[in-house]
Amino acid sequence: MKILHVNHLLDAVTGGGTAERTYQISRLLAKAGVECTVLTLDIGMDAARRREFSDVRIVALPCVLRRFFVPRLSWQRLKSEVKAAHVIHIMGHWTLLNALVFLAARSAGRPYVICPAGALPIVGRSRLLKRLYNFLIGRRIVRRASGHIAITADEIPHFSTYGVAPEKVVVIPNGAPAAASRAHDCAAFLARHGLAQRKFVLFLGRLAYVKGPDLLLDAFASAAARLPDFDLVYAGPDGGMLSQLRQQAVQHGVQARVRFVGYVGGEDKACALQSCELLVIPSRQEAMSIVALEAGVHRKPVLLTDRCGFSEVEQAGGGRVASATSASIGSILVQMASNPGELARMGDRLEAFIRDHYTWDQAVAKHVALFQQLAGVR
């Protein structure tokens, strides 16, 4: 069986959760004997990143306009890649690459599966352009897909607004990387960022509106007097809000307790998770957050909003769910941080829950079953 995965970004820095999901699924499929090709843009695709996809064929198209991720490609080359696959697996939604692959798949008569990963609602910037995209082609891409994958059950209503019946949607959650559970010597990381003597709350992700970093900063500022031993650490690349967040911290008078450490990956990412007291995911809109799973691997509890599609965290006793407002986040943050013993117990419960229910092997098995059904091959 041959699968063509389509994701406009595989860059570990800017690609976020969809890049990680594509990486995990394609490499595990390849190890299981499935021929995998990933069609992407060349952003961040250096030699080191390519080596991580050692068993997967990468087709990295030149990007000629980064603001809108416009690729340079030959239509004949695209049709050839699509025609060679039994099934096309499309990640995300708002990209020209997805639209071109959709047209090629329809022309070649190839089935395709779409996994928007929480991207279907119109939020964040460029809302007018997103409405135009949906009007011209986006709704057809979703509605005419042969298969539909949601990362959480909360994502199913998003498909309904595009005319897809709920029973046609398969829920395949993200998985947690087991290797990340190894302990690291984090003294150098903590010293480098001035965190060796301080407890801290961690935000891990892009500094972008949809991720809600401003909500967390407002929440932390309102709770700062009641949490004198805690700092707030933002670990992630700038998604357009870094300057605003710095100004926001100054306006609240908490700039000395708010750290921006930039993108962290590999051992530094593990150290950020290993050393924090809890992870906060204040997103305004998100499919199931991979960093929530990673926090659980490190036995750290999470505080996330009800827009993250992972309310099981609270049901499992591994964290708390707030509404996507600074007041709600701040109130629950104080409750959690004021009880260190319960934080530790929450982390243990979350680790056990994720180990039992969320692995990439489970996710890959579900993908294989769906792909085989659509392709008519074993």
Query: Helix %, strand %, coil % for the chain, to 5?
Result: 50, 20, 35
Assessment of whether the complete model's pTM goes beyond 0.95: no
Residue 63, token pair as written in the block: 């990007």
pLDDT of residue 68: 87
pLDDT tens readout for residues 100-124: 999 999 999 999 999 999 999 998 7
Contacts 24+ apart (CB under 8 A), 337-343: 337/201, 337/223, 337/227, 337/230, 337/277, 337/278, 338/226, 338/227, 340/277, 343/277, 343/278, 343/301
- Weakly modelled stretches of the chain, pLDDT under 50: 180-181
Length of the chain (residues)? 378
pLDDT of residue 181: 47
pLDDT of residue 13: 82
CATH of domain 178-357: 3.40.50.2000
Whether 59 contacts 37, CB under 8 Å: yes
CATH of domain 2-175+359-375: 3.40.50.2000
Residue 225, token pair as written in the block: 């007097």
pLDDT of residue 376: 80
Question: In terms of Cα–Cα distance, which of 191, 210, 241 is closest to 118?
Answer: 210
pLDDT of residue 182: 55
Angle at 368 between CA 366 and CA 374, to 5 degrees: 105
CA dist 38 and 56 (Å) reads: 7
pLDDT of residue 196: 87
Whether 201 contacts 257, CB under 8 Å: no
**CB neighbour burial string for 65-101, b if at least 16 within 10 angstroms, e if fewer:** eeeebbbebeeeebbebbeebbbbbbbbbbbbbbbbb
Domain with CATH 3.40.50.2000 in the chain: 2-175+359-375, 178-357
pLDDT of residue 109: 95
Question: In terms of Cα–Cα distance, which of 81, 18, 90 is closest to 371?
Answer: 90
